[in-house]
Structure 1
Amino acid sequence: MINRRQTLALLGAAAATTALPFAAHAAAESPKTLRIGWQKNGVLALAKGNGALEKRFEQRGIDVSWSEFSSGPPLLEALGAGAIDFGPTGDVPPLFAQAAGGNLVYAGTYRGPPAGSAILVHKDSPLQSIADLKGKRVAFKRGSSAHNFTVKALRTAGLAVTDIVASDLSPPDAAAAFTAGQIDAWTIWDPYFAVAEKRPEARVLATGKGVVESWSFFLSNGDFAAAHGDVLTDVLDELALVGRSAQDNLDETVRILAKITGVPEDIQKVVLTREGADLGRVAGVTPEAIAYQQALADEFFDLKIVPKKLNVSDIVWRAKQA
């Protein structure tokens, strides 16, 4: 299967809605450092690897620092606490962060291929359908996009999360538990999924295709967004440029990402060529994105997963025209 060292080194494909021009924002006094949290995935990893953001901000005297996270929940905790200024995550983590009163805002979007998430079982497992998960031990990171996929996948079989034995495990811990046979199934996203599906010990029970949409978001610390909206505008614009260039040169992008992450090129190619994958689809927070996120917030509140009713629009950053 996949070991802890491999999973800690992984990097996945980030994708999004079609890139839109970002509005110019009235400039304020620039920060000395832009602190970015990243999960080693897609366009942000490429920007880190080629120094695009460092080059963009060099003339403005802004340094860029990077902090790595294994999943969205801890990244957003750091963001809300002001330990970092900007970072990416899936759809569910911002709901928990907002419910907890985190000081953060939605700043941009990107969309990945639904088939980039999957529920894995052991090759020799008797589990053959989602319905067979009833009463079984299923691992996913609580508050992550895998949580959302698990909820929706179970619903297709008339089940709820309460019908399984849920294990709240980070990707590295879940990978180790899966290998050791301590869990029956594992809900996970690329590139962990792309690595695992190439292993003879694992079998794909279901993917997210036809089950769940794949919205992801860039978020910013609320105080940083209020004071330095011009910096956010430049960050999103640069990521869109990096993504479009990478998408136009996939072979080279595969090689670059493999070098950055240590993940083999054949696995990177799987991630970047899944149906619907497009690194250049970085966008602002559109009405469609807000509507999707609000529906998800309402659903998770009704299921008593999120502890309070949320109004997503309350924490959406909108670039101001100069």
Structure 2
Amino acid sequence: MITRRQTLALLGASAGALVLPQTRSARAASSTLRVGWQKFGVLALAKSSGALEKRLADQGVTIEWHEFTSGPPTLEAVGSGALDFGVTGDVPPLFAQAAGGDILYVGAYRGAAAFHGLLVQRDSPIQKVEDLKGKKLAYKRGTSAHNFALKTLRKYGLSLSDIVEVDLAPPDAAAAFKNGGIDAWAIWDPFFAVAEQDPQTRVVTTSEGILDNWGYFLGNTSYAKANSEIIVTVIDELAKVGAAAQANIDSTASALSAITGIPEAATRVMLTRSQADLGKVSLVPDEALVYQQALADDFYAIGVLPKQLTISDIVWHPNAG
């Protein structure tokens, strides 16, 4: 089970968004790139290695790193101009766009097929997804786990109205899962990888075969348009960092374990899942936009989003500035 120390290591910086310099404009900070990161993936590796600092030195750009626990507060900071660049899963950008956040999709990455897991206690009477009817299912609303829960229930003939939704951030959900306060937990890596190592945890299903796992890099609109060359360089460097990491899983597992504080065994599970490839970083491809638009339409149709969205309205085109 996720220990308190591991949970704090992964999630202890959630207050980071509260202390960011909200009064600074993105344009004024063009010599400093303010990055919102989480303790997973290629951006964490880039921070640890100093790769972006080295790559951007010739452009006279320094990096300020601000740690977050999930996408929603990251994008709130990006949209307000307190950050210039951040990483998130698929759902948070939808809510940020609906709220009028000043954001642009500037890059994308493809996650492992089993990036999410639906977990129960080993002695739980829940044996299959259909058994969740009437049960307490925890996930953080507005995150990729929200989408995973929706798609999983739908695949097995249920809907969100068939379960008792429990809106919990990962640290609170981990505690509730351990003490029996919830019946099931929908969660993403690395929390999924850690939790499934516990012999008292059982995996009912994963996201493999249920949904694609796209993640995104978002930029503040003013910053991205004024600093096109920097954004292109960042995305290119992250792809290189990811490719190098994928080529040496042993070293990468050790490096990520040091960053996150979770065991190498759990880290290796995450890195070796089907279709996992840290090098799959690029400017936003058409297939990611198609996926994201379908997701936006779906969430609007079921009343989760307050209005219809056109994803292409906030996609950055480097040649256009």
CA distance in 2, matches of 1:285, 1:317: 8
The AA in structure 2 aligned to 1:79 is: V
SS of 1:10 mapped into structure 2? helix
Q: Is the 8 A contact 1:8 1:70 kept in 2?
A: no
CA distance in 1, matches of 2:271, 2:105: 25
Give TM-score scaled by structure 2 length: 0.92
Question: Is residue 69 from structure 1 mapped to residue 68 from structure 2 by the alignment?
Answer: yes
Partner of 2:42: 43
Question: Is residue 145 from structure 1 mapped to residue 110 from structure 2 by the alignment?
Answer: no
After superposition, the C-alpha distances for 1:286-312 in whole angstroms (9 at most, x for unaligned) are 111111100110010000001100000
Is the helix fraction higher in 1 or 2? 2
Identity over aligned pairs, percent:
58
SS of 2:309 mapped into structure 1? coil
CA distance in 2, matches of 1:187, 1:123: 15
SS of 1:320 mapped into structure 2? helix
Partner of 1:93: 92
Question: Is residue 193 from structure 1 mapped to residue 192 from structure 2 by the alignment?
Answer: yes
SS of 1:209 mapped into structure 2? coil
Question: Is residue 126 from structure 1 mapped to residue 108 from structure 2 by the alignment?
Answer: no
CA distance in 1, matches of 2:227, 2:219: 10
The AA in structure 2 aligned to 1:128 is: Q
RMSD: 1.6
Q: Is the 8 A contact 2:244 2:279 kept in 1?
A: yes
CA distance in 1, matches of 2:98, 2:5: 33
Give TM-score scaled by structure 1 length: 0.92
CA distance in 2, matches of 1:70, 1:218: 15
SS of 2:319 mapped into structure 1? coil
Partner of 1:22: none
Partner of 1:21: none
Displacement after TM superposition at 1:283 (Å): 1.1
Partner of 1:310: 309
Displacement after TM superposition at 1:258 (Å): 1.4
Partner of 1:178: 177
Displacement after TM superposition at 1:241 (Å): 0.8
Partner of 2:3: 3
Q: Is the 8 A contact 2:235 2:282 kept in 1?
A: yes
Query: Which residues in structure 2 correspond to 1:1-322 (within 5 Å)?
Result: 1-10=1-10, 31-320=30-319
CA distance in 2, matches of 1:29, 1:9: 33
CA distance in 2, matches of 1:289, 1:307: 22
Displacement after TM superposition at 1:53 (Å): 0.6
Displacement after TM superposition at 1:163 (Å): 1.1
Q: Is the 8 A contact 2:40 2:256 kept in 1?
A: no
Q: Is the 8 A contact 1:112 1:277 kept in 2?
A: yes
Gapped regions of structure 2 (runs ≥ 5): 12-26
Displacement after TM superposition at 1:62 (Å): 1.6
CA distance in 2, matches of 1:102, 1:30: 19
Partner of 1:18: none
The AA in structure 2 aligned to 1:43 is: V
Q: How many residues align?
A: 306
After superposition, the C-alpha distances for 1:198-241 in whole angstroms (9 at most, x for unaligned) are 10221101111111110111111111111111110010011011
Q: Is the 8 A contact 1:4 1:175 kept in 2?
A: no
CA distance in 2, matches of 1:164, 1:311: 30
CA distance in 1, matches of 2:108, 2:118: 25
Higher RCO (CA-CA < 8 Å; seq separation 6+)? 1
Q: Is the 8 A contact 1:3 1:176 kept in 2?
A: no
CA distance in 2, matches of 1:306, 1:262: 35
CA distance in 1, matches of 2:210, 2:103: 29
Displacement after TM superposition at 1:30 (Å): 7.7
Residues 224/321 of structure 1: CA separation in 2 closer, same or farther (3 Å cut): closer
The AA in structure 2 aligned to 1:269 is: R
Q: Is the 8 A contact 2:104 2:316 kept in 1?
A: yes
CA distance in 1, matches of 2:28, 2:146: 40
SS of 2:317 mapped into structure 1? coil
Displacement after TM superposition at 1:29 (Å): 9.4
